[in-house]
Amino acid sequence: MKSASCSILGTLRFSTTIHRNNAHLYALPRNKLALFPPFRSTFFTNFKFHRKHLHFNRSTAFPSLSIPTHHDQKPAREPALLLEVEGVLIDAYRLGNRQAFNVAFQKLGLDCANWSQPVYLDLSRKSAGDEERMLILYFNRIGWPTSLPTTEKESFVKSVLREKKNALDEFLVSTSSPLRPGVEEFIDDAYSEGIPVIILTAYSKSGEKIARLITEKLGRERVSKVKIIGNEEVEKSLYGQLALGNVFSKDLDEQLAMEAKKAVSAEKQRIAKKVASMLKLSVDIDTSSSESLQKIVAALRAGAENAGVPVYSCVLIAGSQSGVVGAERIGMPCVVLRSSLTSRAEFPSANAVMDGFGGADLTISKLRQKIWS
């Protein structure tokens, strides 16, 4: 097992020469560049953001966007680690998801509904992990509440999912929900070797508040040694101010285009889930909207900016497909940690896929040998 993991990590090695045709990996989106005048010697030395002066220095303002010069064509020796919360710090679905459904059933007075582990796994497999469809399949099997009109089935399902989310959030921040084995040692090893650790809470599925509470499980001393990138940190980053529309408001055409992209993404998600259900697959389907992907990219950029290193010197430890897509978009190496939610998912664009921390799986020493050597 150990040799297999090492061979997988071997794929993480990337070229030490940055070619011209790779320059787009480190640049701002083209549609945003049109908003700014070209950089000339007469370019303004100050921008005004939120009534504050931001001093612009061409050599340091974009550490995560820069391309090495001919004097420094190798990735920087100063690496950084970016960690997602769900699936990386904690495996939320392994212990809490089924119990959260049962708590929701109890709160809604559905005494006849209770999911054992075999029932939960069967429903998850047949619905491809679509929780709304899991509920529909289950109540079609045992019968819907007699007092529920047929026209209100959809609202009933949504109310169950709402109660389930509340129960899962409570479980995640409780002492009953442990961190993933080995994650604390992994962070400690990184700190002892001088590697910055960035924890990303900005695009957490459970929301930033819950993600920060999960992060606190690391302990006060350990949390003081890492940097947390939430929505506020993203907005304050230089990339966030330039690329997320905080400097220039979107015109009507841009807003209409954004709404059209949302509609297309929603339709893709519906079709993807339907096909996966027909094939009885349980996979983490990438249906990220362009807006959510932009948010993920901004968080990754802000993480690299706060670490003070280029994106290609960072490694994202991801637990979600959307994080992998965001990392690929900007040329950031990415290692996926499988969780109970993604145990059967495929991540073709990830540099490596591991089962956990430590031992034959992910360690700082392996990253050091295979990536930063």
Q: Looking at the structure, tell me whether residues 203 and 240 fall in a common domain.
A: yes
Last residue of a domain, one of 173, 196, 229: 173
Residue 227 in 3-state DSSP? Answer: strand
Q: Looking at the structure, tell me whether residues 13 and 160 fall in a common domain.
A: no
Residue 157 within any structural domain of the chain: yes
Q: Looking at the structure, tell me whether residues 29 and 135 fall in a common domain.
A: no
Residue 261 within any structural domain of the chain: no
Tell me the mean pLDDT in the region 284-302. Answer: 75
Higher pLDDT, 16 or 95: 95
Tell me the mean pLDDT in the region 246-275. Answer: 54
pLDDT of the residue at 175: 85
In degrees, rounded to 5, the angle at the alpha carbon of residue 272 between the alpha carbons of residues 270 and 274 is 70
pTM of the model: 0.67
Q: Which domain holds residue 169?
A: 97-173
Q: Looking at the structure, tell me whether residues 121 and 152 fall in a common domain.
A: yes
Q: Which residue do the tokens 């409570």 mark? A: 170
pLDDT at 297 over 60: yes
Residue 164 within any structural domain of the chain: yes
pLDDT at 275 over 90: no
Q: Looking at the structure, tell me whether residues 42 and 187 fall in a common domain.
A: yes
Q: Looking at the structure, tell me whether residues 287 and 207 fall in a common domain.
A: yes
Residue 348 within any structural domain of the chain: yes
pLDDT at 72 over 50: no
Last residue of a domain, one of 124, 154, 173: 173
Percent of the chain with pLDDT over 70: 65
Report for 35-44, 69-78, 178-187, 364-373: range of highest mean pLDDT: 178-187
Phi/psi of residue 260, nearest 5 degrees: -65, -40
Last residue of a domain, one of 173, 200, 228: 173
- Measured CA to CA in angstroms, residue 179 lies from 159, 192, 216, 274 at distances of 29, 20, 10, 33
Q: The domain that contains 309 carries what CATH number?
A: 3.40.50.1000
Q: Looking at the structure, tell me whether residues 85 and 7 fall in a common domain.
A: yes
Task: Considering only the C-alpha atoms of the chain, give the largest distance between any 2 of them, rounded to a whole number of Å.
Answer: 75
Residue 271 within any structural domain of the chain: no
Residue 81 within any structural domain of the chain: yes
Residue 264 within any structural domain of the chain: no
Residue 274 within any structural domain of the chain: no
- At 197-218, the pLDDT tens digits run 999 999 988 899 999 999 999 9
Q: How far apart are CA 355 and CA 360, in angstroms?
A: 9
Q: Looking at the structure, tell me whether residues 199 and 296 fall in a common domain.
A: yes
- Measured CA to CA in angstroms, residue 147 lies from 101, 108, 115, 142 at distances of 21, 13, 22, 15
Q: Looking at the structure, tell me whether residues 238 and 296 fall in a common domain.
A: yes
Higher pLDDT, 186 or 27: 186
Strands 334-337 and 197-200: unpaired
- Measured CA to CA in angstroms, residue 32 lies from 67, 102, 246, 255, 300 at distances of 19, 47, 12, 14, 18
Q: Looking at the structure, tell me whether residues 10 and 153 fall in a common domain.
A: no
Q: Looking at the structure, tell me whether residues 214 and 289 fall in a common domain.
A: yes
Tell me the mean pLDDT in the region 326-342. Answer: 90
Q: Looking at the structure, tell me whether residues 210 and 320 fall in a common domain.
A: yes
pLDDT at 65 over 50: no
- Specify the number of domains making up the chain: 2
pLDDT at 136 over 90: yes
Report for 36-50, 269-283, 336-350: range of highest mean pLDDT: 336-350
